[in-house]
Amino acid sequence: MEKGLCFFALGVAGALLLVFLLDLFVGFPFSSNTPPDKSSPFVLVDIAGIIAAGIVGYLGFNSLRDIR
């Protein structure tokens, strides 16, 4: 059960990291209506999401290491 929760946390962190990186660099899925010559108004939200996903991923990995 504990290993499953750790793997689930790693999976969620990876998925959110992918979504925030896609939004930051490509503008998909959240910033698709922003004109190409302007930056998205949510760049800080993307950066905060990337940092949060990294923290959750680290915590999941560290917990998985403690369980093994």
Give me the pLDDT at residue 40, please. 66
What is the full DSSP assignment across the chain? -HHHHHHHHHHHHHHHHHHHHHHHHT--SSSTTS-TTS--TTHHHHHHHHHHHHHHHHHHHHHHHHH-
Number of domains the chain contains: 1
Could you read off the pLDDT of 17-62 as tens digits, one per residue?
999 999 888 877 776 666 655 666 788 899 999 999 999 999 999 9
Could you read off the pLDDT of 3-18 as tens digits, one per residue?
999 999 999 999 999 9
pTM of the shown model: 0.83
State which residues form the domain around 16: 2-67
